[in-house]
Amino acid sequence: MQVKRSEYDVIIIGANAAGLGCANILKNTNLSVLLIEKNRTIGKKLCTGILVPQIESAYFPQDKIYSVSSYKIRYFENKDYVTLPGSMRFISRTDLGAHLQKRCANAENIELVTGTPVKKIEKGYVYLENSRIRYTYLVGADGSNSITRKYLGLGVKKLMSFVYESSQKVQGTIIDIQKGYKHGYAWITQLPDKSQAGYVYDPKRLSHRTAGEIFHAYLKEHSYDFENSRLQSAPISYGYKGFQFDNIFLTGDAAGLARKRDGEGIYEALVSGEEAGKKILDPDYNLPLLHSILVQKKNSERIFNLLCAFPFLYTISMRRVLKKLQQFG
């Protein structure tokens, strides 16, 4: 798709939660904004779509949110699952993308192009198929395989995921966490329009083949019909190395803000995108929400790494936690 201009104040690569969050902050300002999406469909992403407690339900259309009133969880290949109280909320990424796009759809200063991959980035320029476009600010919201991050020369740390999606109906949500996360975690859950089964693992700890064997054994144990479904795989970037690099910003998975513990990152993407927009508008803005995310991420990963190194600590702590939760359940 051809863009209208050869120069923009802000170019955002990726019309996902982070990119649309940034665009929403910049809408109706005096800045010209180009939002570039490589896919033709906004919000297309391999993701469960869990809404963490930090995200207010009112922020999204209620009829698009699917809730599970309780969920079952099992640790360390124990035979029995524990049913935990509380609810889990989900939204499909396409519904999320459509909702976020609608918020800035009528902004005259924002131009959105879809089905348009970025081919190359140079200082001050983004290259599309048949054009070179100049930018003053560049926002990388382009996911775990970010071309923006590659341009900045930053290394990546990734988890890998296997996912099947099926029309088969399942009851609630089942989660398996193996050996203090050291060998990954698996889930089966019902989503609004389909069921999903997945497995996330660290490729530094498990080979692709071994992870696949664990995942398929888990699905057979729970009689999940995957024979007629296509196996999908996607990386999850968690290696944060910075947010602002002069006039370039990294947000969401491109910044490595996904949570290593469970791979979720919708909240982190939304917040980091909005923080980038605020920083562009006000260079003195001190990014309080981003700093809060980074503190939580650092503390969570310290504990995560400790439990991976010493799984027996995880066994002891989780037995105590589960016992108390069952009392209140």
Query: So what's the pLDDT on residue 92?
Result: 81
Q: Residue 85: give the domain boundaries.
A: 7-313
Provide the 3-class DSSP secondary structure of residue 298: helix
Q: Is residue 42 part of a domain?
A: yes
Which DSSP symbol is given to 168? Answer: -
d(CA 136, CA 34): 11
Q: What is the pLDDT of residue 79?
A: 67
At 56 the pLDDT is 62
Count, residues in the chain? 329
Residue 279 lies in a domain: yes
Q: Is residue 297 part of a domain?
A: yes
- Tell whether 177 is covered by a domain: yes
Whether 232 is covered by a domain: the verdict is: yes
Task: Supply the pLDDT for residue 133.
Answer: 97
Per the structure block, which two tokens stand in for 39?
């896919």
- Predicted TM-score (pTM) of the model is 0.89
pLDDT in tens, 105-141: 899 999 999 999 999 999 999 999 989 999 999 999 9
Q: Is residue 97 part of a domain?
A: yes
Domain count, the chain: 1
Residue 36 lies in a domain: yes
Query: Residue 325 domain-assigned?
Result: no
Give me the residues of the chain with pLDDT under 70, please.
1, 54, 56-59, 76-79, 85-86, 179-182, 307-329
Q: According to the model, what pLDDT value does residue 328 have?
A: 47
Helix (H, G, I), strand (E, B) or coil at 82: strand
Q: The domain spanning residue 110 has which CATH number?
A: 3.50.50.60
Which residues lie closer than 8 Å to 113 by C-beta, 6 or more apart? 1, 3, 34, 35, 36, 37
DSSP 55: S
